[in-house]
Amino acid sequence: MSDDGQPEPGHGYRQGPVLLRGGQIPTSTSDQRLLNRTDDTDWLHGDPWRVMRIQSEFVEGFGALAEVGPAVSVFGSARTRAGSPEYELATDVAARLVEAGYAVITGGGPGIMEAANKGAKTAGGVSIGLGIELPFEHGMNDFVDLGVNFRYFFARKTMFVKYSEGFVVLPGGFGTLDELFEALTLVQTQKVVQFPIVLVGRAHWRGLLDWLNATLLEQGLISGSDVELVKLVDTAEEAVTEVIRRGVELRGVELAAGDELARAAQEAEASSGGDR
């Protein structure tokens, strides 16, 4: 029996803190209902309450993760089988991140997520899972020590970005690509301070990077610096080394920018004092 009362992963449906089974399982998700467009005006009465529910997800997420400390998110496919090379690679990545002083955050599900949580837990680190309400519920994997379940993708994504100092991305499908490009877009548009984004597995990711260079960059749809936001590696050791190296580099840039702003403020203050 798991801590959330499920006999085994995959039995039951999580809707925020509520566990549903049998006829109680809804036919649509909270995101579906939020984004559904209808001709009636019932949403006028339902949406204000939905806003309160969304607010509660942010409050619960912030409260649960605020004191976690330095952390890195590990993304990858939920379909990866235990014992596969990619599964073992994710386990190794997470263990090395813990040894480097990081907590490990995943989506809390099976596959690569389970592997990373396993690696973090086995290494004695903080193993975090941020689950999501989906039509086919997998349940939080058994290696998560701190888990938060979300109804809404956007609330969950905010937690990944707010509490991670880097992203390590292993082979995955649409969900993994969504998380990768969300991170890249936020960095490119300077909505967040830059953080390391490391792709693990040259054979898997090379085609995507070739397309970015040969199509998007060639057509002027992105810049050369945009492509350089990601680092491509093959091994767990390379991935963690790059997270540490890039993190130190970016913190140095941030500190230098802060010092420059402080000097500029002092010079402006001195100048205004002289004018008086």
How confident is the model over 169-183, as pLDDT tens digits?
Answer: 999 999 999 999 999
Of residues 260 and 113, which shows the higher confidence score?
113
Is 95 among the domain residues? Answer: yes
CA neighbours closer than 13 Å in the CB half-sphere of residue 142: 8
Phi, then psi, of 150 in degrees rounded to 5: -120, 145
CATH of the domain at 63: 3.40.50.450
Least confident stretch, 10-14, 104-108, 113-117: 10-14
Is residue 115 a contact partner of residue 82, using CB atoms and an 8 Å limit?
yes
How confident is the model over 35-59, as pLDDT tens digits?
Answer: 776 656 565 556 677 888 889 999 9
Q: 169: domain range?
A: 59-247
Position 18 confidence tier, pLDDT thresholds 50, 70, 90: low
Per-residue DSSP letters for 98-118? HHTT-EEEE-SSSTHHHHHHH
How confident is the model over 158-174, as a mean pLDDT? 95
Q: Tell me how far the alpha carbon of residue 106 is from its chain's centroid.
A: 7
Of residues 82 and 256, which shows the higher confidence score?
82
How confident is the model over 215-219, as a mean pLDDT? 96
pLDDT for the residue numbered 3: 37
Which contacts qualify for 127-130: CB closer than 8 Å, 24 or more apart? 127/94, 127/103, 128/65, 128/68, 128/71, 128/103, 128/104, 129/105, 130/61, 130/105, 130/106, 130/156, 130/159, 130/160
Is 262 among the domain residues? Answer: no
Residue % of the chain over a pLDDT of 70 = 80
How confident is the model over 21-35, as pLDDT tens digits?
Answer: 666 677 777 667 667
pLDDT for the residue numbered 90: 98
Is 180 among the domain residues? Answer: yes
pLDDT for the residue numbered 172: 96
DSSP state of 24: G
Is residue 138 a contact partner of residue 109, using CB atoms and an 8 Å limit?
yes
Is 205 among the domain residues? Answer: yes
Is 37 among the domain residues? Answer: no
pLDDT for the residue numbered 127: 96
pLDDT for the residue numbered 221: 96
How confident is the model over 91-102, as pLDDT tens digits?
Answer: 999 999 999 999
Longest dimension (CA), the chain: 77
How confident is the model over 222-227, as a mean pLDDT? 93
Is residue 2 a contact partner of residue 139, using CB atoms and an 8 Å limit?
yes
Is 29 among the domain residues? Answer: no
Which residue, 42, 156, 154, 168, is CA-closest to 103?
A: 168
Is 12 among the domain residues? Answer: no
pLDDT for the residue numbered 73: 97
Distance CA 220, CA 216 (A): 6
How confident is the model over 56-67, as pLDDT tens digits?
Answer: 999 999 999 999
How confident is the model over 187-195, as a mean pLDDT? 87
Is 110 among the domain residues? Answer: yes
Whether the pLDDT of residue 275 is over 70: the answer is no
**CA 235 vs CA 117, 202, 238, 273: distances in Å:** 18, 10, 5, 57
The DSSP element (H or E) to which 13 belongs, if any, is: strand 13-15
pLDDT for the residue numbered 16: 63
Q: Domain tally for the chain? A: 1
pLDDT for the residue numbered 51: 85
Least confident stretch, 113-122, 149-158, 167-176, 234-243: 149-158
Least confident stretch, 8-17, 185-194, 239-248: 8-17
Find where tokens 């492509």 sit. Answer: 227
